[in-house]
Structure 1
């Protein structure tokens, strides 16, 4: 019997394809694994199965006995089960019904000029910096925070404080630190809601406060979840996307020469990063079969959308970055009832950043070898700690 796969996959540098991931492909689509904290899980890697299971209501984020559930890590956000087992589907439907109106295509289109203005300001500041400059600190980090703050109605001057709390909450190694960060973040959300009750504005938190039947604590939870997800993941995507463009043969120059490639380039840069932590956690709500393997009720199932995005049955030369590739089809934002609500906003930010950089800094290049760039291994979203560039 094969030894269970140990997660996370070993990865030498931010763009390296873990050797074990390549080795798994011929062995099928589901594999027994051990998480970073030693718990048993099933790792699903094939595109067709991952896509199908993301839309399968026999899997969920809750667990019938949460204290006994296998965990992926120590973060209280995603390290273990979330929500009430008996009401999970109804709760998820309610959450989406409350948030979806604030992320409609019309609202996102209206937000694009503001994203472009914020990006232009940051690019102006970048142009004045001595070289090499840290693109992570000067662009990838501040832009998503600026955007989500304006959208939600969160004071930008609080960014260092709430950023520290989101980093603590996302800690995958220290449970007490994660719990402390989440508690601080929730308390901050409650104070924001109280302020919006007294002084409403044109923002998501104020509009949620004006929605009938929504309690303050529910608004605080929803708004802080948006604050976390709305900047952490986009920070990572900007950094890795720029890195892929600058290191993929001919990719940066192709975008500089043909701005029309931008929408497809964004989809490819969303698809191409290789994840190492096993992907999206789900728990079996009942016994089910996955590719001839019996998964029992309560088992942890990791839907590896990163591996699925590199399935050669779907993507030709999947480990190559090719911004001329036919766009779409990736599972980076998920699929089905939990598809990422913020995906349209993320696409706007990525298009604006990559397009702005290609236009303003056509000679942009890495200032250090990719092998020397540090990866964040202590937090849920991972990503780069810095990105030194010159031009």
Structure 2
């Protein structure tokens, strides 16, 4: 009895020892200094090459590799491996001309002494030329390559991709990390839909248009995001302004947090912080034509009110302001909806997935989207509530206006 118990304990101890040994380390462990961590991938269009009598697309690929702390302090690294004055950079840009992204990544091996790794890729920046010609073959690489991650931001770059990839950041060690963080901030504060690889993949699977943020350099040579690109069938077909980006987010029921601005007089504005909201749709046929009513409900709080001489010490005064702001937002949303419907005749509003419980309308939008949007009539209702007006009930008198 004791001997059998001893054998069982010995067998259990042996198993625990083997498992502990296996869990104690990684079988493919490689020091960080031996990996070329790719944080950014920029792709621009080049003139086509000839291959066996046919044209073949050519790309200029800019690969941004972050340097380890030891390497970045040990030498001066600049874009493309060069130097720029006495400023030390924590990254290196590699430029490659190639017909294939995979081939371009492989060619980096011949230029660096480490193995490229895309598992930490933060941002993919596509030039407008690439976006307008089509990203179908690039999308295949993005979704098929094993190291790709769904949260990687995909951005359209306005202007030179290399210049964007060489623009220094005050807060981030590399330009592409700055772009990724900037895109995330814009999506959080301006109600802009996400534009990462996962969102694009979902839109492609459901055969719906999608939006990508557009990055550009302003007059001070700083990276800014003030537009979004509209894609349909893998091609960029247009752009949205900053206000249209916010409007389409509300109509798509992507409401999280954001700021709404409304005019007062003489260029003055009121600012409302959106706390929560929902946008439902009410579809119906009227005389054989599809009608969709967007029913928007928003909760907000007042951030700024530049309109002098106002008072909010009575409930009816707040109610009048709520009605006035609701009416202005309704007109703005309706104008944006009509403009985008007539311009693209495509489902930038993501109605397809929201009409599945309406078989007749769903069948029509699936089979003949262009005809459906040609006949479609929009309406909008807005019910905006101001839950908090801040710590003051009145604005300064107009006599104090400068």
Same fold (TM over 0.5): no
Measured against the shorter chain, the TM-score band is: under 0.3
- Higher alpha-carbon Rg: 2
Give the TM-score of the pair, scaled to structure 1. Answer: 0.22
Higher-strand-fraction structure: 2
Give the TM-score of the pair, scaled to structure 2. Answer: 0.21
